[in-house]
Every structure is written in structure tokens, then in C-alpha cells.
Amino acid sequence: MTKVLEVGAELEQVATGSIWAEGPVWIPAGRTVRYSDIPNNRILQFSEETGELSVYQEDVEFTNGRTLDLDGSVVQCSHGRRAVERDRDGTAETVVDRWAGARLNSPNDVVVKNDGTIWFTDPSYGIQKPTEGHPGEREYGDHYVFRFDPRDGSIRPVVIDVEMPNGLAFSPDESLLYVADSGLAPPGGHRDPARPGGHSIHVYDVFDGRLCKNGREFVEVGPGLPDGFRVDEHGNVWTSSYDSVQVFDPSGKPVERVPVPEKISNVCFGGDDGRTLYVTASTSLYRIRTTVRDAAAVLRDCAPRTVREPRGTSTSPS
């Protein structure tokens, strides 16, 4: 297999000063990495051009994971608003915040499929951890992965058997959906012994672009657990863990390990050529050069450009 890191690549700390850095996304238009500092309730932005870190926005209602939509706008998860929202120049617009009349828990991470549908995980960290949101109840009583379709405003659960769904990503052809289970560390600090949960990434076959079936364990991640992750253009999974970014090939075989001196939350690919891996880890933002690009970015580059207006909050019972 081709090496996934550039020859001589070394991990570099490029920014620090967070309490818990999360949810990075590369924004090509500004050549910046935007990410959350959840307990400080702010969004930070690192400029690759200047090397400077700035506060993009404060009092943001505890945003977490984010991604780019097909039109280049930022779609992000809000623990505080219990919603998936769209950021337009610092103004948050709710995309979806309910299912079957019940409020969502606290959307955690999000991806946009090539058909424009928005897929997101909904654990309960934001309503059960005082530093990550506001106290609240699980109104639908569980933790699901949802698919929201802005074309008709419908929202449907697609994965219901992961104890604490966290990061998620599609395979390069979008025939597989990977979902991280962070059930080893439930938000209340106490696991329910009657429910399975742990530190694995699960994988599902995607049928008709909308149905997830045949769920199975892809890899068990340790030490610690998988949080956010990305899939590259060759189908390799780049996942966070307690002490390193771990890379697995499409069969689940480990192919690389990048030690990081802080507990890792998430990763994203960026840089002008898309081959710089940025890593959010506790207080800091790190980067290292790779030989691959993000599968979703490659797919977006090949897709026709579409501009869609959000339909607003869905209350569809479907």
C-alpha cells in the first residue's frame, strides 16, 4: 500500500489556548480551519496564510462538529440550540431541530451526502454535560443517527443501534456509512449495563442513498475511544483516539499511527492541495502532511455545483 504520510512528515502544533477543541473544517475560500472550543462557547479560526489564530465568534451556543455543504457554506451542530444549523457570516440559521415532534438531544457531528442530504449524530452530551450545553431531557428517549432531506424537509433515523453515536463519514462512493460509538464514556459518567456500548467504529451498507443496513463492527479503537474521524479518497479511515490518530484501510487493517501529545477529538483534511491533516486535540490544533485527500472533498470537486436554500426547521413525524 502507498504510504499515507509524506516522507519526513512531522506533527506540528499550530495553535493552542482551548479547553476542548473540536469540530474542525477546512474552508478553502479563506484558507482557514474553523473549529469549536466547546467549554469556552466560541468558534476559533486558524489562517494557514498568516499562521494566526482568531476568535471567529463568541456565545455560539456550544457548537461542535461541522462540515461544508455542496454550495460551500458551513453546516454545524449546536449543543445549546439542540439543532443542526447553517452559518452565514456569523449568523446561525436553524436547519433542523426536531423529529416526530420531539427536540433533538444535542447534534454532535455532521456530513453532507453528494445528493445534498444532511446526516448527523445525536448523542446527549450537550444536555447532560454542564460544560457542553444546557441541562435537558432526551425527548425521544434514545441516541440516533438521522438523515435530513432539505428538498422536502423530512427527517428520519438511519442508525438506531449505536449506544452513543459520535463521528460519522461516508466511504468514497457513499455506499458505506461509518459511525463512531463513544459509549465507553457516557455523558453522565455511568454506563447502563443493560446497553452495549464501547469504543468501536461501526459500518453500514447504504441502500438507495438513504437506508442503512447490515451494521457491523469495523474496528475497535484503543486506547480511549473514537470520536471524530475522516475517510480519505482511497477509503482509509483516519480516526481520533486517546493518544494518536490511527489509520485503518478499508478492510480494517491498521496502516499508520500518528502520536499526538494531547487527547484527540477530531480531524479534517485541508491545505491548498487538500493533503494536510489538521487535528483538534484538547487545547490545541495540530497538522501533518499526508499523501491523500478527503473522500468527501474529492466527491464535491467532481459533482455539479448546486446552491440550495435551507428549508428551515423540520417537524416532520416521519
Q: What is the pLDDT of residues 141-174, one digit of tens each?
A: 999 999 999 999 999 999 999 999 999 999 999 9
What gap in Å lies between CA 318 and CA 315, rounded to an integer? 9
C-alpha–C-alpha distance, residues 299 and 159, integer Å: 23
Least-confidence region, from 112-116, 119-123, 134-138, 187-191? 187-191
pTM of the model: 0.93
- Domain 12-302: what homologous superfamily? TolB, C-terminal domain (2.120.10.30)
pLDDT band, very low/low/confident/very high, at 300 (cuts 50, 70, 90): confident
CB-CB contact of 177 with 203 (8 Å): yes
Residues 42/293, Cβ–Cβ less than 8 Å: no
252 three-class SS: coil
Residue 238 and residue 267 in contact, taking contact as beta carbons nearer than 8 Å: yes
Average pLDDT on 209-223 reads: 96
pLDDT digits (tens, 9 = 90+) for 76-119: 999 999 999 999 888 999 999 999 999 999 999 999 999 999 99
Q: Are 266 and 273 in contact (CB under 8 A)?
A: no
CA distance linking residue 243 with residue 233, whole number of Å: 24
Domain limits of the chain?
12-302
Which residues neighbour 193 within 8 Å (Cβ) at sequence distance 6 or greater? none
Cα distance between residue 152 and residue 315, in whole Å: 11
**DSSP calls for 194-246:** TS---SEEEEEEEETTTEEEEEEEEEE--SS---SEEEBTTS-EEE--SSEEE
List, for residues 253-298, the tens digit of each pLDDT value: 999 999 999 999 999 999 999 999 999 999 999 999 999 999 988 8
Q: How far is CA 75 from CA 70, 84, 126, 127, 232, in A?
A: 10, 7, 18, 21, 20
What amino acid occupies position 16? T
Of residues 137, 29, 39, the one with CA closest to residue 82:
137
Residue among 106, 180, 176, 111 nearest 143 (CA): 106
The torsion defined by the Cα of 227, 233, 235 and 238, in degrees rounded to 10, comes to -30
Q: Are 95 and 83 in contact (CB under 8 A)?
A: yes
